[in-house]
Amino acid sequence: MMRATKFAIAGSLILALGVTLSAIVVGCGGSNYGHMSESSTVHAPAGEGGVTADADGRVGGEAGEVRFDPSVAIAEEAFRQAAEEDDYESSFQTRREPGIDFRTKYLERKRDVEINAQDERSKLSQGQVNFANSVTPDSGLIGTVSVDANGNVVNAPVRPRASRPAFPASRDSIKVIARLDPDEELWVISKSSDVDAERERRVGAEDAVPGAGALMCIRPSIETPVAAPLKHTEVSASMSGYISAVNVQQQYENPFDVKIEAVYVFPLPQNAAVSEFVMTVGDRKIRGVVRERKEAERIYEAAKSQGHHASLLTQERANIFTQKVANIEPKKSIDIDITYFNTLAYARGGYEFVFPMVVGPRFNPAGSADPVIASPRGGHPAPAGSTQVQYLRPAERTGHDIGLTLNIDAGVEIEHIHSPSHAIETETIDSTRAVVKLSRLDSIPNKDFVLRYRVAGERVKTALMTHRDERGGFFTLLAYPPAELESLERAPMEMIFVLDCSGSMNGAPIKKAKTAISRAMKKLRPDDTFQIIRFSNNASQLGPSPVLATAQNVERGLSYLDGLSGSGGTMMIEGIRAALDFPHDERRLRFVCFMTDGYIGNEAQILGAVHEKLGESRIFSFGVGSSPNRFLMNRMAKLGMGAVAYVGLNDNAGEVMDLFFDRISHPALSNLYVDWGSMEVTDVYPRRTPDLFVDRPIMLTGRFNGNEPTTIRLRGRAGGEFRDVLIEVDPRECEGRHKGIPNVWARTKIADLADEATYAMSVDPAEAARIPMAIEQTALQFGLVSAYTAFVAVDSLSQTEGAYGVSVQQPVHVPEGVKYSTTVGR
């Protein structure tokens, strides 16, 4: 009945004999940012039985029972390792209640285990386990729980801790319900209560806090509350086909005794077409208008200085925005609603919706023109022309939380809904529709929300979506590669792995990246060649040139990889140069894999270098971590004629790499030309049609006039031959599919122009000078935020008393898995 699983981590060995198909680790007194101590050992019981905690907070102590070092990070690492090596998936789950926060982390088996967090203790049913009786105020524990073959709960004995309670005595209990399959167990493990509270309180302290497990309880006595103006963010999204319409409501409230201006730097998807902006003051809703950016800033400053309620939304990067709200009086609130459309990633019947929640701390090389500066909370104001993000220190918390509701209307049967990043609650409306909510137990905005849902069939029901109005017709088209590509073998390749070894990658992200590279190296063929390049403050590499992927060389590469760690700055330009300045071996296809979180502020310089040096290379960017810079990752892949993938902290890095190899193991359909038939198409974006890789459809958007059924023909070269993809379409049938299509088109055009701007200066300065105006005109015409346009809203009838007060920047968490000490606190 019991199975054995080995969790091996660097410097330690965790043996979980006979158990651990699912695990919840419970603790108390830890911080939000898991760090890894250097060694630990966990021994699971050889058979069933309880888990106890001794006076030192260690669980076990009896022969044959669990013993482990109380380190949050160790448990996390063990889980991740398990997820990678033992075909588990791990997830996070956060619980938050007044005065106490919990965070659970658990593994779930990939097949069909679903773990829910609910509140009602009564919701026990077959295959579900309620821990209400397992974790009590004075037990601290803890126990293993399983269900037997009949679905009956087998609750292991709970032994009280000898030391002080793990949880405040005022709490009733922790209630966690998890659904298990027969023969599976769920572990609930205590963490040490021997946390040095002063250490946690210490301002700017290293954020490594001992403690075990993944359910962390942050007691008010050891947490430093930070007053901040943003109280709550509520996100509601509707997905129809591969387009989503998203409303983000930011609820500001002034907790201070003086009037303030709230400033919040926040992320949105890099392809978000932000088209609506409404400020709510009391019962009054004032719709903002799009203006040229400088003009909007001038209007806002004038209104602010005169005491009017006013708000301004500007774009700092395609995925970074700044919200300013002026003249919020003490204890008063103002809401801001932002609406955008964007397209969803789609592959093999699966959609992916991503909502980023925090901007990662960026590194800015000396001389960066418009840096994104990472500062400690309360730090000095950033210089003019820069964007500043202020970060909470490890033990600090604001009251800002987030809610998220997604309405999915797939149009076809939904087969599976899953979030690798957060705990969710799913309500099925019918076979094609569902409502997904972020669990309120997981409401800390410190990582990207990722939702994946699979629908029936390998392809979307309607590849062409159109919309017509007085401006004419707009369309989006999802184009698939021809099926025969999968039967073609690839040529030998030259694989260049470029690993970001900067401080922000330290810990879990770099381990994830190394696991992915390791997996890829083992999949190389002996006639392939490879190279490993690392970069932080500078770049270095495995050897002077790529080597054949022989067993011996792969072993040497793995050894080199194993020795890499994260520290220092992110001089990505060094990595780009090192990777693309190699002499190209013309007998091989060159693939360059960038493994990075993308936490840099000089994106334009990097993208310019990619374009300049690309040559025959193809760039595949892998965004690593809980909140990577998706703008940079996507644009690198686009300019590099490759593709993008993401390796979240709860993703299986091996699987991600397997999918990548599936793609590149067959030739791509390249040099694409599109014959639009009788659609009378113009203004198609992206202007340079990307290559079509196996399992990766591309999205094209354009304008059209035609109204008759026709055949769209994509022609490209693969395997030395021309190949066609034929798509039968009837624009009349597709009409009115989505009102957001014109905005998607405009946003895609702006992105294309912005890409052009990154490299046009060196090619054609006159043309480059024209681009900002072209972006501005498109954005103004369609009412979108861009680098050159902004939303402003003023309530001309409100006039608050006195000066406009002080500006208060909303501090944010560093992303989950990222260390404050090696980034902001560097």
Q: How many CB atoms lie within 10 A of CB 734?
A: 20
Contacts of 438 (CB under 8 A, 6+ apart): 402, 403, 404, 405, 422, 423, 424, 425, 449
Determine which residue in the list 3, 164, 284, 584 makes contact with another protein, applying CB under 8 A.
Answer: 284
Which of 280-288, 411-419, 585-593, 766-774 is the region at the interface with another protein (rule: CB under 8 A)?
280-288
CB of residue 251 to another protein, shortest distance in Å? 18
Closest to another protein by CB, 306 or 565: 306
Contact characters 475-494, another protein, x per CB under 8 A: --------------------
* Minimum CB distance to another protein, residue 686 (Å): 24
State which residue, 745 or 820, has the beta carbon closest to another protein: 745
Q: For the segment 289-328, give every residue that binds another protein (CB under 8 A).
A: 289-290, 292, 295, 299, 302-303, 305-306, 308
CB-CB contact of 795 with 784 (8 Å): no
Q: What does the alpha-carbon distance between residue 682 and residue 705 come to, in Å, rounded to a whole number?
A: 9
Contacts of residue 272, defined as CB under 8 A and 6 or more positions apart, other chains included, come to 246, 319, 340, 341, 342, 747
List b or e across 173-200, with b for residues whose CB sees 16 or more CB atoms inside 10 angstroms.
bbbbbbbbbeebbbbbbbbbbebeeebb
The interface region with another protein, picked from 287-295, 446-454, 607-615, 627-635 by CB under 8 A, is: 287-295
Q: Which residue's CB is nearer to another protein, number 619 or number 792?
A: 792
Q: Does 469 bind another protein (CB under 8 A)?
A: yes
For residues 103 and 94, what is the distance between their CA atoms, to the nearest angstrom?
4
Express the helix, strand and coil content of the chain in percent, nearest 5 each: 20, 35, 45
Q: How far is CA 46 from CA 20, 66, 68, 378, 728, in A?
A: 12, 9, 15, 51, 62
What are 218's two structure tokens?
């942050």
Closer to another protein at the Cβ: 218 or 794? 794
Nearer to another protein, 541 or 778 (CB): 778
Q: Site mask, another protein, residues 115-144, x = CB under 8 A?
A: ------------------------------
Distance (Å, whole) CA 399 – CA 483: 51
Question: Looking at beta carbons only, is 249 or 306 nearer to another protein?
Answer: 306
**For residue 77, how far is the Cα from the chain centroid?**
19
Among 217, 279, 325, 714, binds another protein (CB under 8 A): 279
Per-residue binder mask for another protein (CB under 8 A), 766-785, x = binder = --------------xxxx--
Instruction: Write the CA distances from 286 to 531, 601, 782, integer angstroms.
Output: 56, 34, 19
* Closer residue to another protein, CB minimum distance, 598 or 742: 742
Q: Is the peptide bond before 686 cis (omega within 30 degrees of 0)?
A: yes
CB of 302 to another protein, least distance (A): 4
Residue from 78, 286, 595, 647 touching another protein (CB under 8 A): that is 286
Binding-residue total with another protein (CB under 8 A): 33
The DSSP annotation for 164-206 comes to S-SS-TT------EEE--TT-EEEEE---S---HHHHHSTT--
Query: Of the candidates 264, 613, 223, which has an alpha carbon nearest to the alpha carbon of residue 394?
Result: 223
**Minimum distance from residue 261 beta carbon to another protein (Å):** 17
Residues 785-804 that bind another protein (CB under 8 A): 792-799
Contact with another protein (CB under 8 A): which of 287, 416, 461, 687? 287
CB of 308 vs another protein, minimal distance in Å = 6
Nearest CA to 138 out of 158, 120, 117, 122 is that of 158
Q: Smallest gap, in angstroms, from Cβ of residue 789 to another protein?
A: 9
- Interaction with another protein in 38-97: which residues (CB under 8 A)? none
**CB of 632 or CB of 746, closer to another protein:** 746
Q: How far is the CB of 297 from another protein (least distance, A)?
A: 12
Determine the Cα–Cα distance for residues 691 and 667; give it in Å rounded to an integer. Answer: 10
DSSP 8-state class, residue 26: B
Choose which of 257, 470, 581, 586 interacts with another protein (CB under 8 A).
470
Residue number with CB closer to another protein (323 or 541): 323
Interacting residue with another protein among 6, 123, 164, 285 (CB under 8 A): 285
Least spacing, CB of residue 755 vs another protein, in Å? 24
Residue 303 or 727 with smaller CB distance to another protein: 303
Q: Which stretch binds another protein (CB under 8 A): 208-216, 455-463, 465-473, 607-615?
A: 465-473
Tell me how far, at minimum, the Cβ of 748 lies from another protein, in Å: 18
- At CB < 8 A and 24+ separation, what contacts does 320-323 make? 320/265, 320/266, 320/267, 320/359, 320/372, 320/387, 320/631, 321/265, 321/266, 321/267, 321/268, 321/274, 321/785, 322/263, 322/264, 322/265, 322/266, 322/387, 323/250, 323/262, 323/263, 323/264, 323/265, 323/266
Task: Provide the minimum distance between the beta carbon of 761 and another protein in the complex, in angstroms, as a whole number.
Answer: 25
Residue closest to 566 by CA, chosen among 619, 522, 624: 624
- Please, which of residues 713-772 interact with another protein by CB under 8 A? 742
Per CB under 8 A, residues contacting another protein are: 278-279, 284-290, 292, 295, 299, 302-303, 305-306, 308, 469-471, 742, 780-783, 792-799
